A and B are shown apart, each in its own frame.
Chain A
Amino acid sequence: MNFDISSEQQILKDSVDRFVQDHYELDKRQLLVLTEQGFSTDNWQTMAELGWLGVSVPEAHGGFGGNEIDTMILMEAFGKGLVLEPFFASTVLGAKAIADGGNEALKTEMLPGVVEGSRQLTLAYAEAQSRFDLEDIITHAKSDGEDYVINGHKSMVLHAGSAQQIVVSTRTSGGQADKAGISLFLIDADAPGVEITSFPTVDGQQASEIKLEGVKVSSARLLGELDNGYELLNALATAGILALAAEAVGAMEILYKDTVAYTQEREQFDHALSDFQVLQHRMVDMFMEYEQCKSLLYRATLEVVQNSAGAQRSVHALKYYVGKMGTFIGENAVQLHGGMGTTEELRIGHYFKRLLVIDAQFGNSDHHLALFAA
């Protein structure tokens, strides 16, 4: 049993911490938020040069061949900086879908570009009616000779506006909420019949609604098995939850530490706010829940890496707890900063918004509590 990261991972951590420190002051970040694509192409290239975009891509395809612990190290640091580049959509979700589910030719065609930063991917899994159920899919793909034809509507797809390819979950058989009969395809964002409408999300990131009308895709672009795509989709959700939880833990650390610092500076009633026990105890609770989230993050991540029997339950436990405590820590950070906490000027509000969005992705707190209890 050992909770220390390896010396290689320490080097990774040092470099990503430095990147966040150098490039993610709040002012700089907020300027990026206002750009059309919502992130910096220079930063994206730096991430590629440092090998991060291929962190989980197999070495055979130009990647680093790392596991969920390496991704956790990057995402926790990104959480501390509220990093905007679409690493999560492209590497954690998109590249994994191809690496785990694509044929050799497709991997050779797609993955090197992802690693080099010239190709950006994303995953379209949600639909308007599906809420948090991955298997609730109306969008359907119909066989047409060597091809499939996709019709439907995908919701809240991260960074689809700047992606070249999109992994789409579709129904190829079965009823709307069946786990059987799901198939994943990789489509080109500029294919005929794909209509992408992009908009900002509350946390300063970008998402899109995607209309698919008679979109033709070759059967060579099938990811995973025909009709048995749920397993791959769930594996992507698991990887997504671990990565988002790591990002959330990074954001929580900033929130509780900023609050401790602010209450020691701010004076009211001739005292620093931190002199008041009621506030001290609230901050202790924020700190404790941050540590508990970190413990569950380690637990779930290590169990997934080691393929332990309880891994799936631990992932549910993690997403439940991070959702609940992210809200708790965020709300209290705002509360303890008083009026200033409610403004866009301080950075804490931005971290709070990111935690709220993380709760809503891949199933919120209630959803995962129900799955854990089932």
Chain B
Amino acid sequence: MDIDLSSTDLAFQQEVRDFLTTNAYKNGTDYAEWRLNWFKLAREKGGWDVTKWPEKFGGPGWSPTQHYIWEQETAVAQTPWDLPFGLSMLAPVLMSYGNEEQQDRFLPDIRDRKVNWCQGYSEPNAGSDLANLKTKAVLSEDGTHYTVTGTKIWTTLAHIADWIFCLTRTSDSGKKQEGITFLLIPMKQAGIEVKPIITLGGAHTVNMVHLTDVKVPVENRVGEEGKGWGYAKGLLAHERTGLAGISKSLAALENLRKQAGEVKRGNGTLLDDPSYRAKLAELEIDLLATEFTELRSLASAANGAEPGPESSILKLKGTEIQQRIQKLTVEAGGIYSAAWGPMPVGHLFARGGMSGYLSSRAYTIYGGASEVQRDVIAKNVLGIKKSQSK
């Protein structure tokens, strides 16, 4: 047992730091241009633009420790914005279940950040119970295309997306997990209507997407008809492990401490308030524990083992921690946290604090609500089976 970084890992850490410092955004230059160039340079480093992709598809083939170092370093450095939908959610599905033609057709544009994807999973009556989805896809008699009709909801950034990857129902017989088909659908066409949903934080991020008689060629079906649930489930596991955000939370906590140190209270600052201090301390301890839980999980993955029981708790703990940081930011803002919109009052950080906190309430709902996560752990990790009721 040891927690040292090997000399190879230390050299890698330095290389990452150098790259991030050299290519940081410089004020006054064109952001969009810098962004695309950053990804180009990262690609030239040997797949640093697609760090999680397998080597076969151009990824860097890093060890878990290297991934962890990358997470740590990018959490504190400025990197260009990026979206997970194509890159981290659809791409792994195409790599595992798509055919070669689909891989050639979609992966390069995802990698070049040319095409934006959104995820068509949830429906008004299929939230935590995702398999209950009803969006219908009917295959034409000549077998050339599906006709898709239904409604998707909570579709993040559907309003800027070029494509949507969608779970649709092609059969009602059998278990509800059967008869689900995975389709790729262009957004900009007749029959697709995107309606904004404004969430508590005042932001337009998610949408309702209505599909009415949308024609989708069979070439856009991933894998076999009726097998989409299995493909999506693998993807959900992927989504859950990516949601702990430990390195980002550690950086955010440091930031919060700095902000609280600027808030006057009596003759000192908010950091002198014992109850606020205790909350910060408890939060930091939870983070120290969760960080090591993640390291344990990475280490077992490095040995090629299946993710151990410890990995199942990362999404739950990680998202709760993110929410507590947001809550303590609001508390630090004090009375100014009530100001809404771009008001030139109070501490700078307090202006976005309430909005950030309200938005963070979704963290324990999306990607499998915390209650569903607990159901999954009870079943898969604790091994609790439903008993025969009498």
Query: Are A260 and B382 in contact, CB atoms less than 8 angstroms apart?
Result: yes
A73 to chain B, nearest CB (A): 10
Is chain B's interface secondary structure helix, strand, loop, or mixed overall?
helix
B254 nearest CB across to chain A (Å) = 14
Determine which of B282, B377, B387 lies in contact with A284 in the assembled complex, contact meaning CB atoms within 8 Å.
B377
Interface: A321 (CB within 8 A): yes
Q: Would you call A346 an interface residue if the criterion is a C-beta within 8 Å of the partner chain's C-beta atoms?
A: no
Query: If the complex has contacts A291-B313, A306-B2, A373-B281, are A1 and B384 also in contact, measured as CB distance less than 8 A?
Result: no
Assess whether A270 is interfacial by the CB under 8 Å rule: yes
- Interface secondary structure of A, over-half rule: helix
Chain A residue with the shortest CB-CB distance to B6: A1
Identify the closest chain B residue to A269 (Cβ): B389
Partner of A292, one of B65, B317, B377, B385: B317
Q: Is A2 an interface residue (CB 8 A)?
A: yes
B289's partner among A5, A284, A296, A302 (CB-CB below 8 A) is A296
Interface residues as binary, B1-15 with A (CB distance below 8 Å gives 1, 0 otherwise): 111110001000000
B281's closest neighbor in chain A, by CB? A373
The distance from the CB of B316 to the nearest CB of chain A, in whole angstroms, is 7
The reply to whether B289 and A321 form a contact with Cβ atoms under 8 Å apart is yes
* Complex alpha-carbon distance, A270 and B390, angstroms: 6
Given that A291-B310, A321-B289, A373-B280 are known contacts, is A302 also in contact with B374, CB under 8 Å in the complex?
no
Residue A280 is within 8 A (CB to CB) of chain B in the complex: yes
CA distance A143 to B358 in the complex (A): 66
Binds B, one of A178-186, A233-241, A271-279: A271-279
Name the residue on A nearest B388 (C-beta). A272
Q: Is the CB of A295 within 8 A of B2?
A: no
Query: Which residues does chain B contribute within 8 Å of A296, judged by CB atoms?
Result: 285, 288-289, 292
Given A3-B299, A303-B3, A283:B316 Cβ within 8 A:
no
Do residues A302 and B1 form an inter-chain contact, with CB atoms below 8 A?
yes
- Is A287 in contact with chain B by the CB < 8 A criterion? yes
A148 at the interface (CB under 8 A from B): no
Q: Are A369 and B303 in contact (CB under 8 A)?
A: no
Contact A1 B378, beta carbon cutoff 8 Å: no
- Is B296 an interface residue when CB atoms closer than 8 A count as contact? yes
Q: Given the interface contacts A277-B375, A284-B374, A288-B316, does A1 sit within 8 Å of B65 by beta carbon?
A: yes
A299 engages B278 (CB within 8 Å): no
- A295 nearest CB neighbor, chain B only: B292
Assuming A1-B4, A271-B387, A296-B289, what are 18 further A-B pairs, CB within 8 angstroms?
Answer: A4-B299, A264-B384, A270-B390, A271-B389, A275-B386, A280-B382, A287-B382, A291-B309, A292-B293, A296-B292, A299-B3, A299-B291, A303-B3, A306-B2, A317-B284, A321-B289, A369-B278, A373-B277
A–B Cβ pairs within 8 angstroms, 13 of them? A1-B9, A1-B65, A264-B384, A271-B387, A280-B375, A284-B374, A284-B381, A291-B313, A292-B313, A295-B289, A302-B1, A302-B2, A308-B3
